[in-house]
Amino acid sequence: HYTSVRRSRMGKLNVALLRYLSKEDFRVLTAVEMGMKNHEIVPVGLIVSIAGLKHGGCCKILKELTHHKLLCYEHRKVNGYRLTFAGYDYLALNVFANRDTIFSVGNQIGVGKESDIYVVANSEGKKFALKLHRLGRTSFRKLKEKRDYHCHRRSTSWIYLSRLAAMKEYGFMKALKERGFPVPAPVDFNRHCVVMQLVDGYPLCQIHSLKEPALLYSKLMDLIVQLGNCGLIHCDFNEFNILLNDKGYPTIIDFPQMVSTAHPNAKWYFERDVQCVQEFFKHKGYESELLPKFSDLQRVDTADVELCASGFTKEMQHDSDEVHVFLYHQF
C-alpha cells in the first residue's frame, strides 16, 4: 500500500515511515488511542492489555514508536504514553491506504488555524485534498482555561475535538453537495481527516482584481441566504474560505464551525457573514446597499438537523458548537 507514499517536501506530514510499520505497531498505536478515551496518559499495563501482545514485545514497540515521535512518553504521577499528532495521522492514513482512498501523499497546499491540507492521490493517480484537523494545536489550552465545557464527558482530549470537527465537516459537505451547493465533493473521512475533491481555484483573498464584482457580490450574498433557507449559517464566510476559479465561479470551503439558524446567536453569525462579504468588496472598490437580513430567511430545508440523523448526537453538536464559537472569537 505504501510503495508510492513519499515524504511531503513542503509540509510537515512525514509519511516516510508509514510503509515500514507492522500490524503490531498499529495495534499498539490503536491501543494507546483507545486508552486515551479515558486517560490523558495511558499506563503501559493498559496498553499491553488492549493490544493483546506480550509485555516485552509491546514495550519494545512503544520505545520505537516514541523514538519516531508517533507516541510521547510522559513521566507524571502515573507514567505512560499518549498519541502525538503524527501518530494519529498514521492511524488515519493506514485506514485510507487499506480502503485505497490514498496511495500517495504530496505537498502541503494550505494551513489554517486548526488544520493542515495536502494533495493526495489514489492508486489510479486521481488527486484529492486531504484535510487534517488539528484542534488543540493553538487553542485547546485556551479552551480549557476559558470553560470546562467537557465536564460531562470522560474524554477532554484534542483527539475527540479533532475527530468531531472532521465528522461534522464531512457531514455538512455531503449534505450541501447533495443539495447542489458549490462545495468540494466529500470522498472519505476517518478520525480527524477528511478527503475531498481537489478544487481548481484560488482563495478570494489572493485575487487582486475582480472582473465582475457586482455579479460575484450577488452570488455570494445569495449563497448566504440559500444556506440560511436550509437552516445553516457558515459562521466564517469570508475571502479566506471562498475559492474562485478562472470562470468566476465560487466554491465554499471550511465547514466545521457551521451552526443552525436555530442557534441562540444565529442572527449575529448571519449578520457577521454578510458583513465580511460587504467589507471585502468595499476594500475592492465596490459597494452595494443590497444586504440580506436574517428576518428575510424562509426555511425550505432541514439540513441543520441532518447530522443528528447520521450519528452526530445532540451532545456532540453541543460540544462542537461550543468549541467553534469559542475559536471564532479567538482569531
Neighbours of 225 (CB within 10 A): 18
Whether 236 is catalytic is: yes
Nearest CA to 123 among 92, 98, 101, 91? 101
- SS3 letters for the chain? CCCCCCCCCCCCCCCCCHHHCCHHHHHHHHHHHHHCCCCCCECHHHHHHHHCCCHHHHHHHHHHHHHCCCEEEECCCCCEEEECHHHHHHHHHHHHHHCCCCCEEEEEEEECCCEEEEEEECCCCCEEEEEEECCCCCCHHHHHHHCCCCCCCCCCCHHHHHHHHHHHHHHHHHHHHHCCCCCCCEEEEECCEEEEECCCCEEHHHCCCCCCHHHHHHHHHHHHHHHHHCCEECCCCCCCCEEECCCCCEEECCCCCCEECCCCCHHHHHHHHHHHHHHHHHHCCCCCCCCCCHHHCCCCCCHHHHHHHCCCCHHHHHHHHHHHHHHHHHC
Which of 25, 89, 116, 236 is catalytic? The answer is: 236
Catalytic site positions: 236
